[in-house]
Amino acid sequence: MTATAPTLAPHRTSPLDDAARALLFTEARTANTFSDEPVSDETLRGIWELTRFAPTMANSQPLRLLFVRTPEGKKRLAAHLSEGNRAKALSAPVVAVLAYDSEFHEHFPTVFPARGEQYRDSFGSMPTEARAPIASYSAALATGFFLLAVRAQGLAAGPMGGFDKAGVDAEFFGGTTWRSQLIVNIGHPGEDPWFPRNPRIDDRDALAWA
């Protein structure tokens, strides 16, 4: 008799165990140094396979990823980073540029088939500058999933916001509809990778009840 894995009922979810919570949340840290251990294409695709299940507006999925790995690519990227971020990016095996697609609506017939053409036409009638905040917000939701996916693949992430977005867009996304919004160093932690853990906001200051 062959055993089969249990399945969850549609209306039930199961909490993560302590080890998973530690990996993804309580013990996870922003890495500031990385080892030279390479990160495979399979691992990077595994990150995307988890990230793409993030919740987004009408399943629009506007997040796009550029994985920068070559010395030449990282040198091009470093020119647009703030001075304090350059060394970290150059030392990481992979640097991900997280972007949104300003023409995300063109994919609605695929990602929301029930109303795909309707949504495509509705959002397509908007000016690009009106669609951009919608795409950016949903891509930001997916960014949270991306960071968890990096950790779930056994890697450390170092998100950075200090960069020239217009410069990165011109350097890597010229002639496309992608627009950058975050840079994340990815790899295995290097020597002394963590800053001391700083305090977290207390629930008395963060929670309200109604």
Give residue-wise pLDDT tens across range 115-145.
Answer: 999 999 999 999 999 999 999 999 999 999 9
DSSP state of 34: B
Residue 129 lies in a domain: yes
Structural domain for 99, as ranges: 29-189
Q: How many domains does the chain have?
A: 1
Dist. CA 40–CA 25, nearest whole Å = 24
Query: Over its length of 210 residues, how does the chain's per-residue pLDDT go in tens digits?
Result: 455 555 666 677 899 999 999 999 999 999 999 999 999 999 999 999 999 999 999 999 999 999 999 999 999 999 999 999 999 999 999 999 999 999 999 999 999 999 999 999 999 999 999 999 999 999 999 999 999 999 999 999 999 999 999 999 999 999 999 999 999 999 999 999 999 999 999 999 999 999
Residue 209 lies in a domain: no
Residue 8 lies in a domain: no
Selection from 96, 73, 76, 88 nearest residue 189 by Cα: 88
Are the C-beta atoms of 97 and 69 separated by less than 8 Å? no
CATH code (residue 103): 3.40.109.10
Q: What is the pLDDT of residue 12?
A: 76
Dist. CA 95–CA 103, nearest whole Å = 24
Q: What is the pLDDT of residue 188?
A: 97
Residue 165 lies in a domain: yes
Residue 4 lies in a domain: no
Residue 5 lies in a domain: no
Q: What is the pLDDT of residue 172?
A: 98
Residue 21 lies in a domain: no
CA max distance for the chain: 62
Q: What is the pTM of this model?
A: 0.92
